[in-house]
Every structure is written in C-alpha cells, then in structure tokens.
Amino acid sequence: MNFYETDLAGIAHFSAYFRFMEEAEHALWRAAGLSIGAAEKTGGWPRVSAAFDYKSPLRFEDEFEVWVRVARITRRTLQYSFVMTMGETKIATGSTTVVCVSKAPDEPMKAIDLPAEILARFEVAPDSEA
Amino acid sequence: MNFYETDLAGIAHFSAYFRFMEEAEHALWRAAGLSIGAAEKTGGWPRVSAAFDYKSPLRFEDEFEVWVRVARITRRTLQYSFVMTMGETKIATGSTTVVCVSKAPDEPMKAIDLPAEILARFEVAPDSEA
Amino acid sequence: MNFYETDLAGIAHFSAYFRFMEEAEHALWRAAGLSIGAAEKTGGWPRVSAAFDYKSPLRFEDEFEVWVRVARITRRTLQYSFVMTMGETKIATGSTTVVCVSKAPDEPMKAIDLPAEILARFEVAPDSEA
Amino acid sequence: MNFYETDLAGIAHFSAYFRFMEEAEHALWRAAGLSIGAAEKTGGWPRVSAAFDYKSPLRFEDEFEVWVRVARITRRTLQYSFVMTMGETKIATGSTTVVCVSKAPDEPMKAIDLPAEILARFEVAPDSEA
C-alpha cells in the first residue's frame, strides 16, 4: 500500500479500496482476454453500486491480495465480489455491480443487453466463502 | 464536480463519491461544533463499511448537493446516510458506519464506547426518505 | 483541507496541491465566462508542465486561498502561476503550462493556435509578487 | 495505467504522475534496504518541490516505466529525478526535492541533517541523460 493512500490516522484511506476494486476487476477482464478500454468504444460500463466492509486496517507498505469473482450475471448487469487478504488476515470484503449502457454523445445513458462476446467470457464463480 | 474527478467515460469516477461522503460527514461534525481532527487525538474513527448506489451520472462542472444525516447510533458506532441530488434529480444514495477505537501507537485498534461529549452532539435524524 | 487529502505524516499530501491548482484554474475560466468542459468539445488542453514549491504544510481542516493569474500567453500555450496562502502564511507557489491541441479520435495530439474566443478573455496579469 | 487515473480527455490526469513519482521513490528506498515508513518514526520527509514536464500522453492500460535516480544530495535534502518511458517513447520527466525534518508533535517542522544511516545508502547517480 502506497504512502499517498494513507491518511492522518496512519492507515489506508477507505476510498482507496474502491480503486483497488477497480484494478482487480480490470485485471480479471484482461485475464479473460477482454479490455474495458476496447469495450468503452461501443458501450459504457457505469456502476450501479459499490460497497466495502472493512475488517482490518492496511498500513503503509503492507502487501495484500485482492480476490475477485463474478458473483452474478443478469441480462444487463455484472456483479463482482471481492475479498482482500493479507496472509491469513481478512482485510475487507466488497462488491460492485456494473451495467452495460449504450454510448451516444449528448444522450442520456440507456441500459442495454450485455454484448454476447463479453457474456461468453464470464461465468458465475462458485462462492468460495460458502 | 471537478475535472480531476472525471474518468475517460466523461463522468465522475465512482470512487470520488466516497470523498464527497467524507466531506459531508466532516461538515456535519463542524456544524455540530465538533472536529474529527480534535477527536483524532484521543481516538480513531475508522470505517466499518461504506456503500453507494448510483442513480444518475455527474458530469464535469455539475453542481450538486450532498445531504447527510445520522441514521443510527450504537454504543460504539455511528451510521450516516447520504442522498446526493442535483436539482430534482437523485444522483446517488449512500451510507457509512464508523466505529470509535482507542488510539495507542503500535497496538491493534480496539473498539471503545463513543465519547460522551460526542454522543451529546448527535441524534438520529428522522428518515426524510420515508 | 479534507481528511482524504492528508497522509500519515498528518499533512496534505503533495499531490493534492495539483488538484487545488486545477480547481483554481477552472474557476478562473468560469470567472472569464468560459468553460473547459465546452472547450474540450473542440480541442484538448493537456499540460506541458506542472510544478509546486512547498513552503509551509497544510493540516486537516486548514482553510486556505489559492490565487491564480495568467503569467504568459504564447500562440499555443497558456501559463498560469499560483500562490497558496493561509492568512499571512505562504503555503506554496506553483505554475503550470497548458497547450491547446486538436481533437481527432485515434490520432496523435497536435498543438494548434489558441482559439480567438478564448484568447479574447485572458490577458497576462501583472506579477503581484514583484 | 488504471481507469481511475484517466480523465474526460481520455488520458492520465496530470496529478497522477506525482503518485507514480512517489511509488518509484519509495521503491528506490526499499531497493536500498530502507523504508520511508520506518524513517517516518524519527523524522519526516516533506517535499520542498515537485515538478513534471509532460511529453506524450498515457492512455488507459498503457504500460510504462518510471526511472528514478538520486540527482543531488545536500546536508538536509535529497533531490530525485525521474524519467517515464513507454518503449522508446518518453512520456515525462520530473524531479522532486525532499527535506528531512525533526518530528515533534504540535511543533513546527524544523529541517535537520540527513540521518547517517540513510546518507550511507544513497549516492548521486550519473546523469543518464547527459
């Protein structure tokens, strides 16, 4: 964890976890042979929701893992869940839901069906927590 | 909303909302005659959880309001809820729970009772959504 | 200054000043009847350089001023200078240079002349430091 | 480069480079067997200055290198210089100067001599640009 992610309480600021979440999500896309960057050209992927439960603080230079899995797929949304760990210690759990939207300049966003080529690359992972 | 809060999709990045949340929470403390800064000297106020549901995007230079209220008080925690609006449009709703912890260098954090002088300044607000 | 802008040294993180810089720059544009947002539709305004000299630290909840002036105008660039103060105390001085570029998707950025309607709104301010 | 580091112009926000700078600086400390975290316990290392010149934009998912070297050592300061590259392309050059200060709660910062154990680990690198 980086110095710029700390706050005056000496721990990682809670908002930094949402950036860790995004990094893990995009790494999952790359591992699936996809890129949010390419996907952005045809449609957008705004968030519907994002949440974290904080279990144990992160301190400067702590090294941690972010585990991400696809928790749920609907016609127009993907839900991910996250577990952050440092060795045996659970740091945090989180989740986020993204929706696929059509991309037309100066028009309101409109939810559309997940593109088939993206749907083909993901499946719901069994819950490793269960 | 500031340029540095946008992302390549042209809207406010979802992680920025958690900073807006914190600004509103600390403004509430100041309005109550308190300061997180002073409070930090005796104890810490880490997050137990933080969440947002996103309803409508924010674009560069949009001006919006963040409404915060104390939603729940327990012996050791404060829960806030947030509504972000832009005119008649609901932008997002959020919530966060903070816990009061003892502050001893190089010791693990330990939850303690909310200090009386802080408890005296807050009460649970009626739910304006209901 | 906000909590999320502090670091474990208990002061504003040095990278936050560059966001303060941007806020002041864009407020100057608005005061001149312009918007970077509108300007972005025809051309881009990337940075050529950005710098700060730090004089005195900012602490949580410190209230400060950011003074911005146009220091230099060339055919294709605008240079701003910044002074941050808290009462009589000088917090920092900074400068940044932006260049106007043509905006064509998937093409490299190319510097272009400053649009006349923008040039008409700015002039180089006398150096208040001198 | 991460999605959260982009802005609505579709490139890395200029303020993100100062976080890249810090990551490289701290990686250099670790490579020298030192930790800013441990060093923070006895003294602080605030910035005196920080600057970047931007040469070529970074786009989402671009992979780049940050080269850091110690450019100058004085009795109380360390100056680093940075070169960011992506393959053969120079992305940016930067520099920052940090000063060592005594750390006493509620007292103003005061510059002190660089600790010998830290001085022993660094030397000025030849300028690879020259």
| Per-residue pLDDT at D10 | 86
Place of tokens 């920092």: C92
Residue C97 sits at φ, ψ, to 5 deg, of: -125, 130
State whether C6 and A4 contact (CB < 8 Å): no
Residue B55 sits at φ, ψ, to 5 deg, of: -110, -40
Alpha-carbon gap, residue B109 to B101, rounded angstroms? 6
| Per-residue pLDDT at C9 | 87
Q: Assign C35 a pLDDT band (cuts: 50, 70, 90).
A: confident
Closest CA to B80 of B37, B39, B20, B38: B20
Alpha-carbon gap, residue D75 to A8, rounded angstroms? 28
Closest CA to C22 of C74, C84, C113, C96: C96
pLDDT tens-digit map of B98-128: 999 987 766 778 899 998 888 889 989 887 5
Q: For residue B130, is pLDDT > 60? A: no
pLDDT tens-digit map of C36-95: 777 776 678 899 999 999 999 999 999 999 999 999 999 999 999 999 999 999 999 999
State whether A60 and C13 contact (CB < 8 Å): no
CB C66 within 8 A of CB C105: no
The beta strand positions in A16-123, using DSSP E, are 43-44, 47-54, 65-73, 77-86, 89-99, 101-102, 110-111
Q: For residue A6, is pLDDT > 80? A: yes
Q: For residue C27, is pLDDT > 80? A: yes
CB D54 within 8 A of CB C47: yes
State whether A3 and C8 contact (CB < 8 Å): yes
Pick the residue with more confidence: A38 or B92?
A: B92
Chain C nearest C-alpha distance from D71 (Å): 17
D27 sits in the region (left: phi over 0; alpha: psi -120 to 50; else beta) called alpha
Burial category of D120 from C-beta neighbours within 10 Å (exposed 0-12, middle 13-18, buried 19 and up): exposed
| Per-residue pLDDT at D87 | 95
Listing DSSP states for D26-93 in one string gives HHHHHHTT--HHHHHHHEE--EEEEEEEE-S--BTT---EEEEEEEEE-SSEEEEEEEEEETTEEEEE
Chain D nearest C-alpha distance from B37 (Å): 13
DSSP letter at A3 equals G
Chain B nearest C-alpha distance from C120 (Å): 22
Greatest Cα-to-Cα distance within chain B, rounded to the nearest angstrom = 48
Chain C nearest C-alpha distance from D126 (Å): 24
Task: State in Å, rounded, how far the first CA of chain A is from the last one.
Answer: 29
Q: Which residues from B are below 8 Å from D60, CB to CB?
A: 8
Q: Mean pLDDT, 10 residues at a time, over chain D (130 residues)?
A: 90 96 94 81 86 95 95 95 97 97 79 89 75
Structure tokens at D24: 């490289």
Q: Among partner residues D23, D30, D61, which is closest to A35 by beta-carbon distance?
A: D61
Q: Which residues from D are below 8 Å from A61, CB to CB?
A: 26, 30, 35-37
Identity at A33, one-letter amino acid code: G
Distances (CA, A) of D123 to B82, D72, D108, D118, D119: 52, 8, 29, 10, 8
CB B21 within 8 A of CB B50: yes
CB B48 within 8 A of CB B74: no
pLDDT tens-digit map of C100-121: 998 776 677 889 999 888 888 9
Distances (CA, A) of B97 to A11, B67, B102, D79: 17, 16, 17, 42
DSSP letter at B23 equals H
Q: Which residues from A are below 8 Å from B45, CB to CB?
A: 9
CB A122 within 8 A of CB A73: yes
Closest CA to C92 of C10, C2, C19: C19
Q: Which of D2, D7, D17, D103 is the mutation pick for testing B, counting most B CBs within 10 A?
A: D7
| Per-residue pLDDT at B128 | 56
Closest CA to B115 of B128, B103, B127: B103
ipTM of the complex, rounded to two decimals:
0.91
Pick the residue with more confidence: B63 or B35?
A: B63
Alpha-carbon gap, residue A46 to B79, rounded angstroms? 26
Structure tokens at A12: 């990682």
Alpha-carbon gap, residue C113 to B12, rounded angstroms? 30
Chain A nearest C-alpha distance from B76 (Å): 15
Residues of C with CB under 8 A from a CB of A: 3-4, 6-11, 13, 15, 60
For chain A, percent of residues with pLDDT exceeding 90: 67
Q: DSSP 3-state assignment of C18?
A: helix
Structure tokens at B98: 């903070």
| Per-residue pLDDT at A117 | 85
| Per-residue pLDDT at D130 | 41
Q: For residue C128, is pLDDT > 60? A: no
* Consecutive H or E run containing D21: helix D16-31
Q: Which residues from C are below 8 Å from B63, CB to CB?
A: none
| Per-residue pLDDT at C20 | 97
Q: Assign B68 a pLDDT band (cuts: 50, 70, 90).
A: very high
Closest CA to C13 of D22, D27, D78, D95: D22
Q: Assign A129 a pLDDT band (cuts: 50, 70, 90).
A: low
Distances (CA, A) of D10 to C17, C40, C69, D6, D27: 22, 11, 27, 6, 28
| Per-residue pLDDT at B126 | 82
Contacts of D53 (CB under 8 A, 6+ apart): C48, C49, D92, D93, D94
pLDDT tens-digit map of A76-121: 999 999 999 999 999 999 999 999 998 776 677 889 999 888 888 9
Closest CA to B2 of B55, B53, B59: B59
Q: DSSP 3-state assignment of B20?
A: helix
For C21, nearest residue in chain B (alpha carbons): B4
Q: Which chains touch D (3 or more CB pairs under 8 A)?
A: A, B, C
Q: For residue C130, is pLDDT > 60? A: no
Closest CA to C66 of C126, C25, C10, C117: C25
